[in-house]
Structure 1
Amino acid sequence: MDNRLFSLSHFDAEEGRLVLAADGLDFDNTETYLEAFCQLIGASVSDKQTDADLHSWLVNFEGMRFMLKGEHYSASVWLEKLDADGDDELAFLHGWLSKLLS
């Protein structure tokens, strides 16, 4: 997987959201980017939904459920927690991806 597909944009621990910039992302290749991100972090996909401008996937990472989204207008991919749990996993991913993608 080409790590250059993504760069870390920001991490909002309070909102439970980790955002990555994906400069080459467009509507037609969003699924490819989301698949690459899942492969990168070792997440499995439970469900997929595609709307007019947003791809939303329910994913499992380290036993936790997250929503993975991709939007071509902002050229971004983000992972957000669905429940009260998931803070530790997002913090881990933030630290790990900060090193991996720098």
Structure 2
Amino acid sequence: MDYNFSQTEINIEQGTLAITLPSFDFDNFPAVAKALLQRLDAILIEQEPSADLHQWLIDFEGCQLLLKAEYYSASIWLELLILNDIEHLIFIQQLLSHY
């Protein structure tokens, strides 16, 4: 399935990038996450699923981020582990906006 990841909102202070997917279903997170990783050419390092929060540790060009999805808010976002890596998050937002 082809997902549209172009609707994003960055929070510089928190180091997060929210991704709006109109038809996001928490139960389909693994498929959505794999498509996003492929789009970014990022690598999955570790995954931690739970009943209401998925959390994947990923590597994007040497920058480690958390890819998270929450059941209750039906939201998905990227979160920096190191706030000084904000330029990577800005680049990801620009990259996703071109699809």
TM-score normalised by the chain length of structure 1:
0.85
CA distance in 2, matches of 1:96, 1:27: 24
Q: What residue number does 2:87 align with?
A: 88
Structure 2: which 5+ runs fail to align? none
**Is contact 2:3–2:32 with CA below 8 Å preserved after alignment?**
no
CA distance in 1, matches of 2:26, 2:13: 29
Q: What residue number does 2:48 align with?
A: 49
Structure 1: which 5+ runs fail to align? none
- Counting aligned pairs with the same residue, the percent is 38
Q: What residue number does 1:28 align with?
A: 27
Q: Flag the 1:84–1:9 CA change in 2: closer, same or farther, 3 A.
A: closer
RMSD: 1.7
**Is contact 1:21–1:75 with CA below 8 Å preserved after alignment?**
no
Q: How many residues align?
A: 99
**Is contact 2:56–2:68 with CA below 8 Å preserved after alignment?**
yes
